[in-house]
Amino acid sequence: MKPFALFALLLLFHPALALAKPNIVIILADDMGYGDLQILNAKSKIPTPHLDALSRSGATFLDAHSGSAVCTPTRYGLLTGRYCWRSRLKSGVLFPPRDKPLIEDDRPTIASYLKSHGYQTAMVGKWHLGIGWARDGKGKVVFDEPFTNGPIEKGFDQWFGIAASLDMVPYVYLRDHQAVAKCTTTQKAIGFPKYVRAGPRDPAFDPGDVLDDLATEAATFIRKATNPKSPATHKPYFLYLPLTGPHKPVWPHERFVGKTKLGPYGDFVHQVDHTVGVVLKAIADSGQGDNTLVIYTSDNGSFMYRRKEGEKHHLADEKSQGYRPADHSANHHWRGTKADVWEGGHRVPFFVRWETGGIKPGTQVSRVTCHTDIFATVAETVGQPVPAGAARDSFSFLPAARGKAAEKPRPGVINHSAAGVFAIRKGPWKLVAGNGSGGRQGPRGKPFQKPYHLYNLAEDPGETRNLIEQKTQIAAQLEAELAAIRANH
């Protein structure tokens, strides 16, 4: 045999040699705030050792943003590299089973892209992008029958998880194209913290077990995908792991209850950290951890409010959905909360680790980044181009994670609130094209209603001094760029 042919054969059959492309793991927490993590908020009393260690072992993006301040649109933007406000969903989230699948039929996703480049692709966790449920003769959704147009149709070889948020129907696990059990009971509505809506439920489904079940499923997938005896092992893997917490229901497993002094929410954040630790251990145990790109982030800010002295708060009454700043600042010093166009709505934890990819431990990145950028980053990681017309709002942050300057500046990052208020970020400047939060904090205001807001986040991170009257030229430039990005389909 000629030496070249022998080398080619070795590449084919020797997993360590053939695995030039890295494994890719994206872990997306649900509603975890920037201030929930000790590595980002030194005053936080919630132990988050696994996430703190992940941050230290790679690049920490200090100015990263979810594509939206709520669940569904962020997930659309992350998976497609395209802002969700370009889709049919202009505000709010999908509600199952009413709403039809959101990702357009021919739209590439990170999963379909990686599958086309030879990856094993798995999703474990919360979908919340709509499912094509089966319907009876009267058009009523039947959760027990096989469904279509879920994660499998969007590029995942396999899926285990839940349809939408953990406080939404149906309360049953779904695997690939079918529920794992029948919903033979009805869940009654429960108030905060264990908030759930009423609806169909598998009697064996326990919200307190979900984070553990997702961790077990993810670890099992990683073990199988990297098993040297498996015929698929020569393929790298992609795991998308959207966790269900610390979103409501705030329902920590009993072994975490009381582990922090910050009530159920603190205990639940601590459990999310533990859950990530289980998955990181599986990655390390696979022996392929160094060549695994791990991205950890959250889909929007925390829903916990700031309480003033004298107001009800979570430590005095766990039914209260807010902390006094002296106890905990779930969204750190950022203004507002989940759903808002203010920083608290979408400034999120963002850690990127890839040791053999040249990302050095302890790297801190100040570049403004958005979840939509993950698609182009993944493409650069794999070394293959983004398909024509795909991921139009995606700009690779891999050079920044490697501590290098980008070849060209990123266009402004668009922030979008639950009610559809736009903002644009460029350098230190943020223009809000509306007259309020567009979310939960008052005044809520309306999209494109004046007076607009302009802030210099370098000098005023808390968005307290509106400079719209003083800096008219900067405001006009940002307004023009926002209009150009929105018009450029």
Pair 310, 324: CB distance under 8 Å: no
| Residue with smaller CB distance to Ca ion, 167 or 213 | 167
All residues at 6 or more sequence positions from 451 whose CB lies less than 8 Å from its CB, including other chains: 435, 466, 468
Tokens of 436: 């309020």
Pairing of strands 185-187, 199-201: antiparallel
User: What is the spatial distance between Cα 93 and Cα 84, in angstroms, rounded to a whole number?
Assistant: 11
Q: Which is nearer to Ca ion, 109 or 165 (CB)?
A: 165
Q: Which stretch binds Ca ion (CB under 5 A): 69-77, 91-99, 104-112, 464-472?
A: 69-77
**To which residue do tokens 């497993």 refer?**
253
CB-nearer residue toward Ca ion: 31 or 213: 31
User: 163 and 91 in contact (C-beta within 8 Å)?
Assistant: no
Cα 160-163-169 angle, rounded to 5 deg: 130
The size of the interface with Ca ion (CB under 5 A), counted in residues, is 5
Residue ranges in 28-57 that form contacts with Ca ion under rule CB under 5 A: 30-31
Residue type, 9: L
Would you say 80 or 302 has its CB closer to Ca ion?
A: 302
Contact (Cβ atoms closer than 8 angstroms) between residue 156 and residue 114 = no
Can you point out the beta strands (E) in 281-410? 292-298, 305-306, 322-323, 350-353, 363-365, 369-370
Binding part of the chain for Ca ion, among 22-30, 87-95, 117-125, 418-426 by CB under 5 A, reads: 22-30
Rank residues 57 and 298 by Cβ distance to Ca ion and give the closer one.
298
Query: Quick check: 52 and 38 in contact, CB under 8 A?
Result: yes
CB of residue 90 to Ca ion, shortest distance in Å: 18
Residue the block writes with tokens 């929105």: 486
Residue 334 CB, nearest distance to Ca ion (Å)?
A: 16
Nearer to Ca ion, 103 or 114 (CB): 103
Report, in Å, the least distance between residue 244 CB and Ca ion: 10
Comparison of 242 and 445: residue with beta carbon closer to Ca ion = 242
CB of 247 to Ca ion, least distance (A): 5
Smallest separation (angstroms) from Ca ion to the CB of 31: 4
Contact code string over 297-326 relative to Ca ion, x by CB under 5 A: --xx--------------------------
Select from 29, 71, 163, 295 the one that contacts Ca ion (CB under 5 A): 71
Minimum CB–partner distance for residue 53 and Ca ion (Å) = 24
The span of 63-71, 130-138, 281-289, 374-382 binding Ca ion (CB under 5 A) equals 63-71
State which residue, 314 or 338, has the beta carbon closest to Ca ion: 338
Q: Does 340 bind Ca ion (CB under 5 A)?
A: no
Nearer to Ca ion, 46 or 93 (CB): 93
Segment interacting with Ca ion (CB under 5 A) among 27-35, 272-280, 351-359, 470-478: 27-35
Question: For Ca ion, which stretch binds (CB under 5 A), given 1-9, 71-79, 274-282, 399-407?
Answer: 71-79
Residue 372's Cβ-count burial label (10 Å; 0-12, 13-18, 19+) is: buried
Shortest Cβ contact with Ca ion: which residue?
71
Q: Are 465 and 454 in contact (CB under 8 A)?
A: no
Residue with tokens 């009381």: 258
Least Å distance, CB 210 to Ca ion, is 15
Burial of 158 (0-12, 13-18, 19+ CB in 10 A): middle
Closest contact distance (angstroms) between CB of 275 and Ca ion is 16
For residues 188 and 156, the answer to whether their CB atoms sit within 8 Å is: no
Collapsed DSSP state (helix, strand, coil) of residue 370: strand
| Cis status of the peptide bond prior to 73, with omega within 30 of 0 | no
CB of 34 to Ca ion, least distance (A): 14
Residues 6+ apart with CB under 8 A from 335: 342, 343, 344, 441, 462, 463, 464
Of 23 and 297, nearer to Ca ion (C-beta) is: 297
Interacting residues toward Ca ion by CB under 5 A: 30-31, 71, 299-300
